[in-house]
Amino acid sequence: MLVTYNWLKEFVDISVKPAELADKLTMSGFEVESLAIHDDDAVMDINVTPNRGDCLSILGIAREVAAITGKKLEHKNLGKQERGAQKIKEFVSVEIKDKKKCPRYAAGVVQNLKIGPSPDWLAKRLEACGIRSINNVVDATNYVMIETGQPFHAFDLRYVRGQKIIVRQAGSDAEFVTLDGEKRKLISEDLLICDAEGPVALAGVMGGANSEVKPDTTSVLLESAYFEPSTVRRTSKRLGLGSESSRRFERGVDGTATLENLERLTSLIIKIAGGTPAQDFIDINSLNVTPANINITPKDVSDLLGVDVKASDIKNYLSSLGIAYENDVCTVPSYRPDITRPVDIAEEVARLHGYDKIPVSRPSFEMTAIQKPLAFNYRVRAREFFKANGFYEAVNYGFCSPSDIEPFEKEPVKLANPLGVEFSAMTPTLLAGLLNNLRLNLNMGAESVRLFEIRPVFLKNAKLAETEERRLSGVMYGRRTDLTWSFKEADVDFFDVKGVCETLIKHLGISEIKFVKQEKYSFLHPKASALIIVNGKEVGSCGLLHPSVAAKWDVKKDACVFELNWDLLVAEADKVRRSFKALERFPTVRRDVALLLNDSVQSNDILSSIKDFGSAIIQRAMPFDVYKGKGIPEGKKSVAYAVMYYDSTRTLTDEVVGETHSKLISYLKDKLGAEVR
């Protein structure tokens, strides 16, 4: 709010310079954002917090200045004006149909005035406070509003049809033209000031073009009212129509001073525009204002502030703000609705006592650092892994189109009020979004694409209740490696995506991993896909995208995808307790074995059998060749494995390794029905 130094001096005998006063206001909770010197005056731009609507006025700021400088607040009086002989009921009547939204409405009439320019002193003050001068009557309403914080409105009495003012909700009135010439669309809950035939003002926001004061106006109807703050705020925000009046009504004005401020406005208008006021005013008042009484002892104040403050000082501080303090009870004036609790009283004391007098001390309890969630560290490790493997992270919306998720056979959680069809459901799988990303990249000319995403998905469980899970999904397309002279050009396949998933899971510290042929997901190729099993639990799937699904996204070549239950994966990774393992001191011995097996035997079956053999010196086994074709019977395949033998206590001899290897081959022949090639 813009406040002039000289205007404040009319209420308080200020002895300090403008810069010092600005500093004192800032230190008491009213930050002065700028100070500009103009001739013999100074203008301060004061940041008034939303709870201090009383300080959107010269009078409110003057109260604060008087309190922080120890001076007395002096109310100006323009003196009594001679009243006319006619009573106001001869000119207009007022009816309030919604007393909840308008509990108090006062009206006055001034006749035989003359519209013209405002006096120079008044116009300059309004301009300094950021308000353009219009004419003496309108300027008077703005001047007294800035001074007291009470908004007003002046109607040309000629255009008040039927000599009647009705305060009511908009109801069936659909439109209204405001003073700025704009046609506003109303809703039934908007509060209007109407005459006998229709609206003449939006209550608390802006007057209407059909009743504005004109150069030939000779009689005006003056309005001073109290409107429910939430009503004014809703209308103002919905219409995008903020005004100096709405700004004050939204924060609450002093409803007990409605008539007093109207009398002051009437006196000022008569002083600068002439005219004769009606003999009396209309004042319809159903506003019930009871002074707030708050119990608080000097000890309570000292305990809250952490510093001893004398009872006499507390009383003086509060008295300077207009708060009576007797027998440990504070009586709060009507213009301070923000004070409702003992802590509010303590805050007022702290502002005037001085924040700099409150000692700085350590907290009475131990502060601990914020612990990062368990999943956070794993997400960091996963992102580092994918970055090192040439992936880019995708960030998609949590919404999707139902048609995009049809191939994944998941029932989506639908939105009641979507932005559009493409955002009408919560995504139950990340793959739809990643495939949209893939299609976009391919359309832009990309030949190789590797994307991953970690974010929540939204599902319906067996009881059709909505649940949220975090997933990790990815897509791989195009060349296996960058195009260089040293590598043969080849596209990614099932084993690439399987290898990425397996390596990631091992990177998270999990060693018990199995890939099992799957038939439950129709969006994956039935002969090149697998379920991923970790510690006996299914955590996801991977494989080639089914050709029919790939065609939906215009993907011409094989695309590999994976989707993991990230929450479950993190829970399993957290069970792993890592321990130090010394470097190998003795050499590892390799022995190969080539087995002729039925085509239905999977690699996992062979690895599990080697593990079940239970030899302490078998370190690991790895497949390195699979062959079908000439020399291999129909329905059979040849699989070659390298078995690594190691003992941490000695160097293994050929005899020991050979004996164990022979027993292993016999075991595999019996268990798997294998033949040695």
Q: Can you tell me whether residue 442 is helix, strand or coil?
A: helix
Which residue spans of the chain are classified as CATH 3.30.930.10?
374-574
pLDDT tens, 257-302? 999 999 999 999 999 999 999 999 999 999 988 888 999 999 999 9
CATH class of 374-574: alpha beta
Return the pLDDT at 413.
Answer: 87
Whether the per-residue pLDDT at 78 is higher than 60: the answer is no
Return the pLDDT at 416.
Answer: 85
Return the pLDDT at 77.
Answer: 63
Whether the per-residue pLDDT at 253 is higher than 60: the answer is yes
CATH code of the domain occupying 2-69: 3.30.56.10
Query: Per mean pLDDT, which range of 305-309, 381-385, 574-578 is the poorest?
Result: 574-578
For the four alpha carbons of 503, 508, 513 and 515, in that order, the dihedral sign comes to negative
- Binned at pLDDT 50, 70 and 90, residue 608 comes out as confident
pLDDT tens, 167-195? 999 987 778 898 888 898 999 889 999 99
Which residue spans of the chain are classified as CATH 3.30.56.10?
2-69, 292-357
The three-state (H, E, C) secondary structure of 465-531, written as one string: CEEEEEEEEEEEECECCCCCCCCCCCECCHHHHHHHHHHHHHHCCCCCEEEEECCCCCCEEEEEEEE
Whether the per-residue pLDDT at 249 is higher than 80: the answer is yes
Return the pLDDT at 68.
Answer: 93
Tell the burial category of 367 from Cβ atoms under 10 Å away from its Cβ (0-12, 13-18, 19+): exposed
Return the pLDDT at 82.
Answer: 75
pLDDT tens, 27-50? 998 999 999 988 789 999 999 999
Mean pLDDT value of segment 423-449:
92
Tell me how far apart the alpha carbons of residues 237 and 465 are, in angstroms, rounded to a whole number.
37
Whether the per-residue pLDDT at 363 is higher than 80: the answer is no
Whether the per-residue pLDDT at 164 is higher than 90: the answer is yes
640: its two tokens: 């070659």
- Binned at pLDDT 50, 70 and 90, residue 600 comes out as confident
Tell me how far apart the alpha carbons of residues 18 and 6 are, in angstroms, rounded to a whole number.
10
Mean pLDDT value of segment 576-586:
81
Residue 263 parent element (H or E) = helix 258-273
Q: How many helices and strands, by DSSP H and E, does the chain display?
A: 18, 32
Return the pLDDT at 534.
Answer: 92
569: its two tokens: 């994966």
- Binned at pLDDT 50, 70 and 90, residue 603 comes out as confident
- Binned at pLDDT 50, 70 and 90, residue 79 comes out as low
All residues at 6 or more sequence positions from 546 whose CB lies less than 8 Å from its CB, including other chains? 407, 522, 523, 524, 525, 526
Tell me how far apart the alpha carbons of residues 75 and 161 are, in angstroms, rounded to a whole number.
38
Whether the per-residue pLDDT at 361 is higher than 90: the answer is no
Residue 482 half-sphere exposure, CB side, CA atoms within 13 Å?
A: 4
Mean pLDDT value of segment 455-476:
87
The per-residue b/e assignment along 558-583, b for 16 or more CB within 10 angstroms, e otherwise, is bbbbbbbbbbbbbbbbeeeeeeeeee
pLDDT tens, 223-234? 999 999 999 999
Whose CA is closest to 222, among 115, 338, 138, 128? 138
pLDDT tens, 529-551? 999 999 989 999 999 999 999 99
Whether the per-residue pLDDT at 353 is higher than 70: the answer is yes
> Is domain 88-285 in CATH 3.50.40.10, yes or no?
yes
Whose CA is closest to 105, among 280, 259, 261, 290? 259
Cα-Cα-Cα-Cα dihedral of 2, 61, 24, 334, to 10°? -140
> Is domain 292-357 in CATH 3.30.56.10, yes or no?
yes
Return the pLDDT at 80.
Answer: 61
Percent pLDDT > 90 in the chain is 65
Mean pLDDT value of segment 508-519:
88
Distances (CA, A) of 50 to 131, 334, 606: 21, 17, 73
Return the pLDDT at 256.
Answer: 93
Whose CA is closest to 640, among 600, 591, 598? 591
- Binned at pLDDT 50, 70 and 90, residue 200 comes out as very high
Tell me how far apart the alpha carbons of residues 618 and 607 are, in angstroms, rounded to a whole number.
12
Q: Is 554 left (phi over 0), alpha (psi -120 to 50) or beta?
A: left
**Homologous superfamily in CATH for domain 589-676:** Ferrodoxin-fold anticodon-binding domain (3.30.70.380)
Mean pLDDT value of segment 607-630:
89
Distances (CA, A) of 189 to 99, 151, 671: 14, 21, 82
